[in-house]
Structure 1
Amino acid sequence: MRVFVTGASGWIGSAVTDELLAHGYEVVGLARSAESAEALTAKGATAHRGDLDDPDGLASAAASADGVVHLAFKHDFSDYAAAGRTEHAAVRRVLDALRGSDRPFLIASGLASHVTGRPVTEQDVSPHHGPDSMRGGGENLALEYAEHGVRSVALRFAASVHGMSDPGFVAVLTATAKERGAAGYVGDGANRWPAVHRSDAARLVRLALEKAPAGSRVHAVAEEGLPTRDIAAAIGDHLGLHTASVAPEDAEAHFGWMARFIGMDITASAAHTRDLLGWTPTGPTLYADIAAGAYRLPG
């Protein structure tokens, strides 16, 4: 099976590429640079040069594949709305290329929702619609095409997809803690983040490619919700720093762009995903990765 993977050289995408290659798939990976193309080729994948600003090129690569795993996104927090519009246009163009083929289209998404007081489940519909919404409303756009001959599946990743050398949110919090001299959290730090190890996330993507029916939402979540004050404590223990509460009104000054995320309270269940795909996470916990030096800083 020939699979076109966008974001194939990214944090999650590179692990997905490795997982697919290890299970006999032919991988064509989107590469924005010569360095990314060389890395993909060295693994045994085929590089397709391009980016999300070229939806026609993406559609051409998708049309020649047996399935698409769309993991790329322009993480430009200086103009997040424009990034969403780019995402929406690219996703729609690829979906149109797959229309009526019954081929799989898996799209990376998140767990942000209007649900409060309980974990988000796979049955909860994303509140984000249209190009001006979060991530361009890509999840709902993709799932609409389940009625048009595309086996579209939403891959909802935990806030922390962790592992050695993780460049994500926890890495930013670790760097901020070192800079500020304390591992911070907002308010009482009772708000929670879900987490999953990178290897488990990659395996879930492969299983979803193989098994998930059209219109599915699957949750890459191993730990349903870890209090941010406990994440801060784990970071502080690793760095030899104390923890500190940051008042909500001071969060932006302390955390910068991370302020919009660090105060979110998101918990999520993956019970349906585990039953549907036969997926059982086996990787280290987030706290174990922090203690093991996954977020080791220079200097």
Structure 2
Amino acid sequence: MRIFITGASGWIGSAVSQEVLAAGHEVVGLARNDESFARLQAAGVTPHRGSLDDLDSMREAAVASDGVIHLAFKHDFSDMAGAAVTERATIEMFGDALAGSDRPFLFASGVAGLKTGSVATEDDPVPFSGPDAPRGGAEALALSFVERGIRPVALRFAPTVHGEGDHGFVQVISGVAAEKCVSGYVGDGSNRWPAVNRADAAKMVALALADAPAGSRVHAVGEEGISGFDIATAIGEARGIPTASIAPDDAMAHFGWIGMFFALDTPVSSAKTQQLLGWTPSHAGLIADIESGFYGTR
């Protein structure tokens, strides 16, 4: 099959592209600039010029494909409303381009915010929808495409997709620890943070492309919930700095914007995904990757 992937040169997308290629498919990747164009070519991916702001270009690639994996997103915390508008417009465009074709449409979503304090599963619907919702209500909208003759699949990624080269949430938390000379956790540190190794996540996406049924939600989660205390302790030991509790009321002042996320208790299961796809996460866990020095600790 010829698979069009947005975000194909990104942190998750570059690994997904290799798994899809290894499965015997041709991969066409969205290239928003010369740098991503060159990276895609070097990786054996056919570049397609365009961006999330160029709906016509993405529509052209989608129509010419046998399926779409949409991973790109504008991670601009200064304009999340604008990012949501762009995401909804992109989802709507793919729906129009693929309608009536029975082609797969896999799209990035997340597990953060599904539940707090108890384990979320694939059966839990996203608690928000509509144009004003986070990510423009993309998950609910895209899953409704079942009725339009499309095979939509929600790829719900853990908030931390880790590995060497990751610059996401854990890297930010580690950077705060270096700046403050103390590795902090919120309250008693019992809150749980789900994570997945990038290689495991990419494998799951390739399996979902082949086998996930229309309208399904699959969880790219390798570890159900690692405590904030354990994350902070691993960072502290790797950096050679003390570990300390940060009062919940002081979390934002200490950690900055990421404090609101690091304090959440959001454990997530992937048991049903593993059973559905025959997927078993097998690569290093988050604590092992921190100890390996992947987060500015070596």
Q: Which bin holds the TM-score, normalised by the shorter protein? A: over 0.9
2:227 matched to which residue of 1? 227
Does the aligned pair in 2 maintain the 1:175–1:297 contact within 8 Å?
no
- What's the offset of the Cα at 1:23? 2.2
Does the aligned pair in 1 maintain the 2:8–2:17 contact within 8 Å?
yes
**1:262 partner amino acid:** F
Listed one character per residue, the Cα deviations across residues 78-108 of structure 1 (whole Å, up to 9, x for unaligned) are 1111111110111111111101100000011
Provide the TM-score with structure 2 as the length reference: 0.97
- Cα separation, 2, equivalents of 1:209 and 1:114: 23
**1:64 partner amino acid:** A
- Cα separation, 1, equivalents of 2:256 and 2:292: 27
**Distance change >3 Å, CA 117–CA 247, structure 1 → 2:** closer
Structure 1 segment 4-153 matched on structure 2, within 5 A: 4-153=4-153
1:160 matched to which residue of 2? 160
2:261 matched to which residue of 1? 261
- Cα separation, 2, equivalents of 1:128 and 1:31: 31
Whether 1:184 aligns to 2:187 is no
- Cα separation, 2, equivalents of 1:218 and 1:200: 13
**Distance change >3 Å, CA 45–CA 169, structure 1 → 2:** same
**Distance change >3 Å, CA 114–CA 271, structure 1 → 2:** closer
Does the aligned pair in 1 maintain the 2:3–2:68 contact within 8 Å?
yes
3-state SS in 2 of match to 1:73: coil
- What's the offset of the Cα at 1:55? 1.8
Does the aligned pair in 2 maintain the 1:113–1:120 contact within 8 Å?
no
Number of aligned pairs? 298
- What's the offset of the Cα at 1:131? 2.2
**2:293 partner amino acid:** G
**1:279 partner amino acid:** W
3-state SS in 1 of match to 2:100: coil
- Cα separation, 2, equivalents of 1:189 and 1:49: 45
Listed one character per residue, the Cα deviations across residues 150-187 of structure 1 (whole Å, up to 9, x for unaligned) are 10000011121111121111111111110110111222
- Alignment RMSD: 1.2
- Cα separation, 2, equivalents of 1:156 and 1:83: 18
Unaligned runs of 5+ in 2: none
- Cα separation, 2, equivalents of 1:192 and 1:165: 23
Listed one character per residue, the Cα deviations across residues 221-279 of structure 1 (whole Å, up to 9, x for unaligned) are 11100111110111111100111222222222222221221111111111110111000
2:214 matched to which residue of 1? 214
**1:157 partner amino acid:** F
Unaligned runs of 5+ in 1: none
Does the aligned pair in 1 maintain the 2:31–2:48 contact within 8 Å?
yes
- What's the offset of the Cα at 1:44? 1.2
- Cα separation, 2, equivalents of 1:114 and 1:106: 19
- Cα separation, 2, equivalents of 1:117 and 1:172: 24
- Cα separation, 1, equivalents of 2:87 and 2:247: 34
Does the aligned pair in 2 maintain the 1:184–1:244 contact within 8 Å?
yes
What percentage of residue pairs aligned between the two structures are identical? 59
Does the aligned pair in 2 maintain the 1:88–1:130 contact within 8 Å?
no
- What's the offset of the Cα at 1:216? 0.3
**Distance change >3 Å, CA 117–CA 270, structure 1 → 2:** same
Listed one character per residue, the Cα deviations across residues 2-51 of structure 1 (whole Å, up to 9, x for unaligned) are 11101111110010011112222111111111001100011111111211
